[in-house]
């Protein structure tokens, strides 16, 4: 009872503070960055730091550390924060231009250009909303550019609605080790990877466009986080097309190879891909692979599983394959819309591990040219195996045993 009373008091206090919310207007000008940071430091729950139309040159890293605050412009393309003259610093997160560091924050209706690091970065947040925001580099995608457009880590109840992200050397949006995520009505183009969903639980990715990236969408599970085994991921009503662009990624991020529509890598499971348009990818429309290296966690599973691919429209793929697929095509083999590397054996913490074979359901998909949607397993057996050990087959794996998760619901999306 005491806990309930305290909770009610907290809710009433928050509601009261929101009811007395105020605007903090900041106009463009030579003193704008100092006025903007002062407003962000002074605003309270429900307050709006409101930016007028115009371009705001910002040379410092901005920080939103007061809960319940909204940073709002006059519209993407009308209010622009330019970080072209912000000095870079070491570290991906430290190099961010706007750090979101409190709960129930909103950033909306503005553009962020020429950030030396992620335009927006944050971790361990509750209830973050990014709405109608554009992040991009005016010089385009280039080596040495910012690794991510937006990077959010270890957070809960996160909404991206109307985000446009361009020109990131790793991913336009990277959402990592987070729970209850919605990415919708957004556009990712001319990045190495458009959208990267990494080690997340319960995510709805829908009504987005991913185009002209090297890889459109990456669903990735990495062993270095305590939050492993990403699952309950729904990918639906997206246009994932023409992802044959250049990649500026280095290191691990180079798995975002040119010509991939959707890449599923590592131990992600319970994945549902439906009602999408997936076409014109030189490597493959959907690729499923075991994580091939760097596994020091003995509990980690490197192999994806329980994947349902249904009611999608596929287009051309496999016309410019790389690596093992290139070797297979050179041998005269016809490639496929959905490709699995066939690996079930991998090395974790110095020990040989064997996962369950992939369970995959392919049903009610069509191709734009009327031909049947095709599947190919390379039959590599072991993660990162070469074609010398390959045993290609077109036999479908056993069907997935999972049921589709319920839609993700976010508290801030119900108001």
Backbone φ, ψ for residue 254 (5° rounding): -70, -5
* Per-residue model confidence (pLDDT) at position 414: 81
State the average pLDDT over residues 171-188: 98
Predicted confidence band of residue 304 (pLDDT cuts 50, 70, 90): very high
Cα 112 to Cα 172: distance, rounded to the nearest angstrom: 13
Asked if 132 contacts 162 with a C-beta cutoff of 8 angstroms, the reply is yes
Tokens of 5: 């009373």
- The highest-confidence range among 93-102, 122-131, 244-253, 290-299, by mean pLDDT, is 122-131
Instruction: State the Cα angle at 196 between 97 and 266, rounded to 5°.
Output: 135
* Per-residue model confidence (pLDDT) at position 388: 74
**80 vs 254 pLDDT, higher one:** 80
- The highest-confidence range among 174-188, 283-297, 333-347, by mean pLDDT, is 174-188
Cα 314 to Cα 371: distance, rounded to the nearest angstrom: 10
- The pLDDT mean for the chain works out to 92
* Per-residue model confidence (pLDDT) at position 308: 98
* Per-residue model confidence (pLDDT) at position 9: 43
* Per-residue model confidence (pLDDT) at position 1: 42
* Per-residue model confidence (pLDDT) at position 254: 63
Asked if 291 contacts 302 with a C-beta cutoff of 8 angstroms, the reply is yes
Q: Look at 11-25, 31-45, 253-267, 320-334 and tell me which has the smallest mean pLDDT.
A: 11-25
Return the beta strands (E) in 255-340 as ranges.
260-265, 269-274, 277-279, 284-289, 305-310, 313-314, 338-340
Topology of the domain comprising 42-409: Pectate Lyase C-like (2.160.20)
* Per-residue model confidence (pLDDT) at position 251: 63
98 SS3 class: strand
* Per-residue model confidence (pLDDT) at position 397: 96
State the average pLDDT over residues 289-315: 94
Q: Which of 211, 223, 238 is nearest to 268 (CA)?
A: 223
Q: What is the pLDDT of residues 133-168, one digit of tens each?
A: 999 998 888 887 889 999 999 999 999 999 999 999
State the average pLDDT over residues 218-232: 94
The backbone region for 133, taken as left when phi is positive above 0, alpha when psi lies in -120 to 50, beta otherwise, is: beta
How many residues are recorded in the chain?
415
Q: What is the pLDDT of residues 322-334, one digit of tens each?
A: 988 998 899 888 8
Half-sphere exposure of 276 (CA within 13 A, CB side): 28
| DSSP letter (8 states) at residue 37 | H
Positive/negative CA dihedral, 185, 189, 204, 202: negative
Cα 165 to Cα 171: distance, rounded to the nearest angstrom: 9
Q: What is the pLDDT of residues 194-213, one digit of tens each?
A: 999 999 999 999 999 999 99
* Per-residue model confidence (pLDDT) at position 16: 47
Q: What share of the chain is helix, strand, coil (3-state, %, to 5)?
A: 10, 40, 50
* Per-residue model confidence (pLDDT) at position 5: 41
Tokens of 157: 């109840």
Whose tokens are 């975002």? That residue is 256
- The β-bridge partners of 360 are 307
Percent residues over pLDDT 70 in the chain? 93
Whose tokens are 């639980």? That residue is 201
* Per-residue model confidence (pLDDT) at position 255: 67
Predicted confidence band of residue 18 (pLDDT cuts 50, 70, 90): low
pLDDT surpassing 50 at residue 3: no
pLDDT surpassing 50 at residue 375: yes
* Per-residue model confidence (pLDDT) at position 19: 57
pLDDT surpassing 60 at residue 39: yes
* Per-residue model confidence (pLDDT) at position 6: 37
- A 10 A CB-CB count for 367 gives 18
Residues sharing a CB contact under 8 Å with residue 6, sequence separation 6 or more, in sequence order? none
Q: Is 36 exposed, middle or buried (0-12, 13-18, 19+ CB in 10 A)?
A: buried
Cα 146 to Cα 83: distance, rounded to the nearest angstrom: 12
Backbone φ, ψ for residue 16 (5° rounding): -65, -40
96 CA to centre of own chain: 17
Cα 24 to Cα 7: distance, rounded to the nearest angstrom: 29
Domain residue ranges in the chain: 42-409
323 SS3 class: helix
């Amino acid at each position: 009872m005491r806990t309930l009373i305290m909770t009610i008091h907290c809710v009433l206090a928050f509601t009261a503070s929101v009811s007395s919310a105020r605007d903090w207007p900041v106009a463009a000008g030579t003193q704008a960055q100092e006025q903007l940071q002062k407003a962000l430091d002074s605003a309270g729950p429900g307050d709006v730091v409101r930016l007028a139309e115009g371009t705001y040159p910002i040379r410092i890293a901005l920080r939103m550390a007061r809960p319940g605050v909204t940073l709002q412009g006059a519209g993407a393309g009308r209010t622009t924060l330019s970080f072209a003259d912000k000095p870079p610093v070491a570290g991906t997160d430290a190099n961010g231009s706007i750090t979101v560091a409190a709960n129930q924050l909103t950033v909306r209706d503005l553009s962020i250009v020429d950030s030396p690091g992620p335009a927006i970065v944050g971790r361990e947040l509750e209830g973050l909303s990014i709405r109608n925001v554009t992040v991009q580099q005016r010089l385009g995608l280039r080596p040495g550019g910012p690794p991510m457009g937006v990077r959010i880590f270890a957070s809960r109840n996160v909404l991206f609605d109307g985000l446009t992200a361009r020109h990131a050397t790793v991913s336009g949006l990277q959402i990592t080790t987070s729970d209850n995520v919605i990415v919708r009505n957004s556009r990712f183009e001319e990045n190495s990877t458009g959208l990267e969903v990494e080690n997340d639980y319960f995510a709805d990715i829908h009504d987005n466009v991913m185009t002209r990236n090297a890889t459109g969408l990456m669903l990735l599970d990495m062993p270095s986080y305590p939050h492993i085994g990403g699952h309950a991921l729904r990918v639906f009503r997206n246009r994932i097309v023409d992802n044959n662009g250049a990649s500026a990624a280095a290191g691990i991020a180079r798995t975002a190879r040119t010509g991939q529509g959707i890449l599923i890598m590592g131990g992600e499971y319970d994945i549902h891909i439906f009602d999408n348009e997936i076409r014109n990818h030189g490597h493959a429309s959907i690729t499923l692979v075991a994580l091939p290296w760097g596994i020091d966690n003995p509990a980690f599973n490197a192999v994806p599983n329980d994947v349902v691919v249904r009611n999608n429209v596929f287009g051309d793929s496999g016309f410019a394959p790389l690596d093992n697929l290139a070797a297979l095509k050179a041998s005269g083999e016809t490639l496929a819309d959905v490709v699995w590397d066939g690996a079930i054996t991998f090395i974790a913490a110095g020990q040989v591990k064997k996962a369950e074979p992939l369970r995959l359901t392919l049903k009610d998909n069509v191709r734009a040219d009327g031909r049947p949607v095709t599947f190919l397993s390379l039959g590599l057996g072991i993660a990162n195996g070469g074609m010398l050990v390959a045993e290609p087959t077109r036999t479908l794996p056993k069907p997935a045993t999972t049921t589709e998760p319920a839609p993700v619901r976010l508290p801030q999306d119900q108001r």
